[in-house]
Structure 1
């Protein structure tokens, strides 16, 4: 199996955890962790995400932290739920060298390729099925 196909499949088995439920009709889930899915050390990933957060703060006040996790627990990345246009989200993801982003519209979760070639936007299901608020 091609490495990109394996990555694409792993992106489909996702769960999100945040301290609050998003109230936006549509939003992006963005991270600056692990550019091109190359695993960086924790300190570098945290620095990248802090810079991304500063960029988001200049674009909108409507964002908050989210944890993005593989459903089998193999990996976890910090990110942000952001109320911005899809085009803005795509450009930010490209800038931060992300292979794909998650887009939510009307409670439908989509996986959207950014740097990965040969893949199309894919509907994963109802966002609420992928989201939880930790106790």
Structure 2
């Protein structure tokens, strides 16, 4: 992944559409996850939009997102918590819809990102649920 793309991932606002809504930022802790979703020690934010960071028509992105949703529902160890929206504050990238998923191992989360041709996913783990970028291409 080139440095500009990595910078875009790091500058994105990852909004979790929960009650209350949360805005996750890379490098920052999101302790409210413990209160909203007690009992989980890790979460990932994953999308199927814009595979390999190629801007894709909205209809294709929606179909890919539906496939991801079905895949998540079929995973016995995954807990689908909420929908998410990744928003680029510079507006160079369109919003990307995705999902907050709990109870996956880091390896399973990376494999899911790879399965849907993503360069990276967002990972949050106890004790502080500090958001980090996990590069799927290196797995």
Same fold (TM > 0.5): yes
Unaligned runs of 5+ residues in structure 2 are 23-32
How many Å apart are 1:41 and its aligned residue?
0.1
Q: TM-score, normalised by structure 1?
A: 0.77
Given that 1:56 and 1:63 are in contact with CA atoms closer than 8 Å, whether structure 2 keeps it comes out as no
Partner of 2:30: none
Q: What is the SS of the residue equivalent to 2:131?
A: strand
Partner of 1:123: none
Q: What is the SS of the residue equivalent to 1:62?
A: strand
> CA deviation digits over 1:82-127, x for unaligned, max 9?
0122111111111111011110012200111112x5xxxxxxxxxx
- When the two chains are superposed, the root-mean-square deviation of aligned CA atoms in Å is 1.7
Partner of 2:92: 74
Q: TM-score, normalised by structure 2?
A: 0.75
Q: Does 1:45 align with 2:50?
A: no
Which 4+ runs in 1 deviate beyond 4 A?
A: none
Give 1:100's match in structure 2, choosing from 112, 117, 120.
120
Task: State how far apart, in whole Å, the 2-side matches of 1:61 and 1:93 are.
Answer: 16
Unaligned runs of 5+ residues in structure 1 are 118-135
